[in-house]
Amino acid sequence: MKKIEISDVQKNEIINDYNNGFSIRKLEKKYPYSFTFLQKLINTIDFDKNILNNYPQRDGYYITAICKITGKEFKDYKNQSGALTNHVQSLYNIVLPSKYKRKSIEFKTGRFWYDSYFTFKYLKLKKEKKCKYCDWVTNDINNLSGAYEKHLKMIHDKCVTDYLNKFPDEKTFFKKEIYCELIKCEVCGESYKYITNTHLKKHGLTQLEYKLKYGSLPISEDTKEKLKINYKLYLKKSPKIKTSTFEDFIINAISVNFKQSDRNVLNGKEIDLLYNNIGFEINGNIFHTEIFGKKIKHYHLNKTLSAKEKGVTLYHIFDDEIIDKPEIIINKLKHILNINTGFETIHARKCQIIDSITTIEKSIFLNDNHIQGNDKSNYSVVAKHNNEIVAIMTFNNKRYMNKNKDHNDNTYELSRFCLKKNVICTGIASRLLKYFIKKYNPQKIITFADIRWTPNSNDNLYTKLGFTLTKTLKPDYWYYNPKVHRVKRFHKFGFGKNNLKKRFPLNYNKNKSEWEIMQEVGYDRIWDCGKFKYELML
């Protein structure tokens, strides 16, 4: 239903008529709006007046609601997100009146219905830093995120040096940029804290070629020492399996003579673990971010493609995956390396194929055996051996991304397939898929393969099952903030503009992009390698 739009001029006319004695019925005849719409408009105006009287706004301050019992603070004092409602219900364990009755209380009293549960406090607004060239502002007045520099470069094409030449009194704001010694690129003469691969690519050089040609490391000693200190602090605080021992953890768990830190295959670029023509990159999240780690959008994909050109199949693993699901990672690596030691072999023909499984059973199996864990699929096909689940394949025909122009309920997405850990069951994926096709008669099945784990587009599980590659999706990203969680990557779906408005109301600005806001609140990005999309037409 289209939202009714009303101009401020006409709104004021209606208010004036109402204040001059017009009834709502009389207003309905004069204006092209329904009785209900006009009633809501009048009530909202009266309500806003009362709210302004009882919760007046003050310049330079914002209001926060504080729970009288727990002392918990809520910046969303108007309860637009429903957080105050949830808090009251969970704390007092009561059934609240209907939303209509709660609103009636507010209209009559001019106070929020939850006024008796909270106290309302005025807090000073954070200071803002305004761009000298435009109206762009940021709350990061100490320049901790570096968002101001990014804005200058992207919007005004200005570097810090250009900016300081024009505004020398701003030097203290950019103390992060000038605290360390800079080094000069021997090719073009420009100065940097350290010379990145991106810069060297402009000159057609790798870091190794640069060092061999000019005999010096493309990084200042000061910057190198600071990176070493940060790295040691990170290792000290990291959980059970430390970043420096991830490779050792894998080597100890898999009896394979890996070659570590190989730099020969990629002409100076390092491959963490290499065995024959299979390589594994163990990516520490903090060092594989876009800003701090300097790993741009196509970094991981380009490295995968470069390795492929050299005849090496390269897989990428992030450290939170090893920390959260070490057994699943080791199991996947053994399958990739075709190591059968300690595996139970089960013949697919001896398995019972069923589709009667509870949501709880599916959830437990996927969380225990699939790196992505549980999903929201609405169809599951299961292989059982000796009354125990050994494999599962899930499907979904309701997922929003499938709903393109030719989508119908007979188009399904193959969402998950996994075997029980330490089990080999050759041919079981084919049996599960055939069972699903025979029972549900789909017209088309689509699926997506993560290039990090499926680097070969023409020789993998899906091509063997008869799927055809239809599209290669570009690299996508997660968000990362070590102050929120030391290693966890956060899915971007939780940080859309609507969610940011609720989560970070003081930083939200409709004129800023999602990425600009996320940088201001301390988040960085980590890019993947993209995905392959496959289809099976039936």
Residue 167, pLDDT > 80, answer: yes
Lowest-pLDDT range, 221-230, 327-336, 406-415, 529-538? 221-230
Q: Which two tokens stand for residue 523?
A: 């988040």
| pLDDT for position 233 | 58
| pLDDT for position 402 | 47
pLDDT band (50, 70, 90) for residue 241: very low
| pLDDT for position 242 | 43
**Tens digit of each residue's pLDDT (9 = 90 or more) over 282-304:** 999 999 999 999 999 999 999 99
pLDDT band (50, 70, 90) for residue 179: very low
Strands in 118-124's sheet, in edge-to-edge order, are 73-74, 61-67, 118-124
The Cα 517–Cα 264 span in angstroms is 41
Lowest-pLDDT range, 42-51, 64-73, 341-350, 395-404? 42-51
Percent of the chain with pLDDT over 70: 87
pLDDT band (50, 70, 90) for residue 2: low
Taking all residues of the chain, what is their mean pLDDT, rounded to a whole number?
A: 84
Question: For 425-437, what is the mean pLDDT?
Answer: 95
Q: List all residues 6 or more positions away from 523 whose beta carbon is below 8 Å from its beta carbon.
A: 479, 480, 481, 490, 495
Question: For 296-321, what is the mean pLDDT?
Answer: 94
Angle formed at CA 285 by CA 236 and CA 335, multiple of 5 degrees: 105
Q: Which long-range contacts (CB under 8 A, 24 or more apart) does 191-199 make?
A: 193/219, 193/220, 193/223, 194/218, 194/219, 194/220, 194/223, 194/224, 195/219, 196/294, 197/294, 198/294, 198/296
Lowest-pLDDT range, 124-138, 193-207, 466-480, 513-527? 193-207
The Cα 317–Cα 483 span in angstroms is 22
| pLDDT for position 341 | 78
Question: For 20-34, what is the mean pLDDT?
Answer: 82
The Cα 65–Cα 67 span in angstroms is 7
Question: For 35-55, what is the mean pLDDT?
Answer: 67
Lowest-pLDDT range, 72-76, 179-183, 237-241, 533-537? 237-241
* Displacement of CA 231 from its chain's centroid (Å): 24
The Cα 498–Cα 350 span in angstroms is 51
* Position with higher pLDDT, 215 vs 508: 508
Question: For 447-466, what is the mean pLDDT?
Answer: 94
Helices (H) and strands (E) in the chain, counts: 20, 23
**Tens digit of each residue's pLDDT (9 = 90 or more) over 464-490:** 999 999 999 999 999 999 888 888 999
Contact 533, 471 (CB under 8 A): yes
Residue 178, pLDDT > 50, answer: no
* Position with higher pLDDT, 72 vs 231: 72
| pLDDT for position 412 | 93
| pLDDT for position 433 | 96
**Tens digit of each residue's pLDDT (9 = 90 or more) over 358-372:** 989 999 999 999 999
| pLDDT for position 180 | 46
The Cα 285–Cα 293 span in angstroms is 9
Q: Hey, what domains does the chain have and what are their CATH numbers?
A: 8-124 (no CATH), 129-218 (no CATH), 238-340+476-531 (3.40.960.10), 344-442 (no CATH)
Residue 182, pLDDT > 70, answer: no
User: Strand 444-450 and strand 411-419: pairing?
Assistant: parallel
Contact 390, 420 (CB under 8 A): yes
Question: For 325-338, what is the mean pLDDT?
Answer: 92
Residue 47, pLDDT > 90, answer: no
* Displacement of CA 112 from its chain's centroid (Å): 35
Cβ atoms within 10 Å, residue 435: 17
What's phi and psi for 118, nearest 5 deg?
-130, 155
Q: List all residues 6 or more positions away from 151 whose beta carbon is below 8 Å from its beta carbon.
A: 131, 136, 138, 516
* Position with higher pLDDT, 156 vs 16: 156
Question: For 42-69, what is the mean pLDDT?
Answer: 73
* Position with higher pLDDT, 264 vs 1: 264
Cβ-based burial of 458 (10 A; exposed 0-12, middle 13-18, buried ≥19): exposed
**Tens digit of each residue's pLDDT (9 = 90 or more) over 483-527:** 888 889 999 988 988 889 888 888 888 888 999 999 988 899 999
User: Strand 191-192 and strand 259-266: pairing?
Assistant: unpaired
Contact 118, 68 (CB under 8 A): yes
Contact 36, 7 (CB under 8 A): no
Cβ atoms within 10 Å, residue 181: 10
| pLDDT for position 63 | 86
pLDDT band (50, 70, 90) for residue 204: confident
DSSP class of residue 474? P
User: In terms of Cα–Cα distance, which of 352, 341, 336, 327 is closest to 428?
Assistant: 352
Question: For 219-226, what is the mean pLDDT?
Answer: 61
The Cα 532–Cα 489 span in angstroms is 21
Q: pTM of the predicted model, to two decimals?
A: 0.57
